[in-house]
């Protein structure tokens, strides 16, 4: 955002070869980041629960990751917009980005928790997922920064964005094999129709027949009970 604005007289070969930024001051960039934070809270608290109840975790996750490559493809072209359209364009991209982020991360966390057969491995799964995300956040800016510098020197401002889009496309591959199954038989064997007192004891949760996340296994049964079920398979 702080790079000099695009020079129309420079050697540009659209749609890919162009240079330029917004020449924003540090104050303006800070205000934009503040707006992004407000959008993030709204999307997390309002949009995600509403969408997740209607689509379920898997479909919500798939829709959002399918939109990420297009976001990275379009973002660098904002620098080519007329000045009066740049701020609205940035706000639109930010709304797209924070909404996708607020929908995809919690959905993935829910599916990860549902995939754990026991509370004993839930901590390991969450730890591995958090560690993987931290590694990507650590190396991501370093790698993308190097790509950005090399691309800008060659006259291509969007190389780093498009590289992120390619990584997002690769992220589609494991998503194809993801499934959200309902373990209805196991819950019935454990006593899925127990009263509310048993639910509060943490043995099992009543299964709701719907297309939302409530229709899948949300909470884990007691370790000993789950192990007894798995040993009978």
CA 169 to chain centre: 13
99 half-sphere exposure, CB direction, 13 A CA radius: 16
| 9 within some domain | no
> pLDDT tens digit string along 176-204?
777 766 554 444 444 444 444 444 444 44
Which among 103, 77, 107, 109 has a CA at the least distance from the CA of 90?
Answer: 77
Do 197 and 116 share a structural domain?
no
Two tokens at 211? Answer: 């297309």
> pLDDT tens digit string along 114-144?
877 777 888 888 888 888 888 988 888 889 8
With H, G, I as helix, E, B as strand and everything else as coil, classify residue 222: coil
Do 196 and 171 share a structural domain?
no
Q: How many domains does the chain have?
A: 2
- Residue ending a domain, among 176, 198, 220, is 176
194 half-sphere exposure, CB direction, 13 A CA radius: 17
193 versus 47: the higher-pLDDT residue is 47
- Residue ending a domain, among 176, 200, 220, is 176
> pLDDT tens digit string along 60-116?
988 888 888 999 999 888 888 888 888 888 889 989 989 998 898 888 888 888 877
Do 121 and 91 share a structural domain?
yes
Do 133 and 71 share a structural domain?
yes
Query: Which residues, at least 6 apart from 214, have a Cβ–Cβ distance to it below 8 Å?
Result: 53, 208
For residue 22, pLDDT over 50 is answered with: yes
* Beta-ladder partners of 156: 18
| 90 within some domain | yes
223 half-sphere exposure, CB direction, 13 A CA radius: 4
Do 143 and 108 share a structural domain?
yes
């Amino acid at each position: 955002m702080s790079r000099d604005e695009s020079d129309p007289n420079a050697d540009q070969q659209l749609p890919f070869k162009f240079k330029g930024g917004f020449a924003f001051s540090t104050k303006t960039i800070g205000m934009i980041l503040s707006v992004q934070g407000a959008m993030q809270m709204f999307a997390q608290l309002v949009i995600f629960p509403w969408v997740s109840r209607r689509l379920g975790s898997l479909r919500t996750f798939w829709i959002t990751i399918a939109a990420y490559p297009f976001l990275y493809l379009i973002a660098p072209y904002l620098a080519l917009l007329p000045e009066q359209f740049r701020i609205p364009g940035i706000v639109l991209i930010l709304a797209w980005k924070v909404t996708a982020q607020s929908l995809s991360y919690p959905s993935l966390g829910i599916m990860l928790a549902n995939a754990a057969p026991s509370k004993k491995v839930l901590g390991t799964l969450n730890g591995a997922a958090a560690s993987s995300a931290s590694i990507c956040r650590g190396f991501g800016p370093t790698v993308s920064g190097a790509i950005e510098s090399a691309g800008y020197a060659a006259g291509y401002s969007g190389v780093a964005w498009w590289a992120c889009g390619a990584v997002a496309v690769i992220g589609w591959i494991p998503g194809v094999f993801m499934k959200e199954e309902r373990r209805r038989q196991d819950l019935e064997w454990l006593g899925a129709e127990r009263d509310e007192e048993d639910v509060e004891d943490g043995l099992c949760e009543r299964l709701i027949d719907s297309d939302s996340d409530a229709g899948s296994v949300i909470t884990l049964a007691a370790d000993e009970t789950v192990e007894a079920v798995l040993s009978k398979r």
